[in-house]
Amino acid sequence: MADLQDAIANAKDKLPDVTPTPPGFHPQATATELKGRLQWGEPALTIVDVRDRDSFNACRIMGAITMQMDSLVERAESSLEHTRDIYVYGANDQETASAASTLREAGFQKVAELKGGLNAWTEIGGPVEGTSTPDHPVSAGEYNVVSRMGEFVEERKKED
């Protein structure tokens, strides 16, 4: 029986590790690393957008939540665990670094700065959502019912 167990152990040593593992966590993350984690299907992360509300509404990484800098710690404390993986991005790398530092100082253990932010994300074809995504340019009708009705009428005329 020992010979069989030795043979099995030897065979396992010779085989490559075929068990897939998710991408690792880094405090300075690239858009490609974040996209890899999302494609892996790992739900144990949160993407935080610290830009102003209008920018967030216009276009954001799909699934991102907004937490502006002036209320970042309070919002994070009320909705996120301190051990959760958090990917944060802002209007620029300086705002991103500031937000990440603020969260780390508040006791959040796994905070990653998304280098390049939304621009880097869209450059690699990461999914976005909002009122002004590349596939959905902003129109006056997005914010005004009268304009939206006018656009509807114009579209109907094209169909006739």
The predicted model scores a pTM of 0.71
Domain ranges, ordered by start, for the chain: 21-129, 134-160
- Could you tell me the end-to-end alpha-carbon distance of the chain, in angstroms, rounded to an integer? 82
Question: Given this model, what pLDDT does residue 44 score?
Answer: 84
Residue 100 clears pLDDT 80, i.e. is over it: yes
Question: Given this model, what pLDDT does residue 133 score?
Answer: 63
Classify burial at 23, counting beta carbons within 10 Å of its beta carbon; exposed 0-12, middle 13-18, buried 19 or more. Answer: middle
Residue 7 clears pLDDT 90, i.e. is over it: no
Q: What is the pLDDT of residues 17-56, one digit of tens each?
A: 656 566 678 899 999 999 888 887 766 899 999 999 999 9
At residue 147 the predicted structure's pLDDT band, cuts being 50, 70 and 90, is low
Q: How many angstroms separate the CA atoms of 89 and 56, rounded?
A: 11
**Summary mean pLDDT of the chain:** 84
Q: What topology does CATH give the domain 21-129?
A: Oxidized Rhodanese; domain 1 (3.40.250)
Q: How many angstroms separate the CA atoms of 128 and 26, rounded?
A: 22
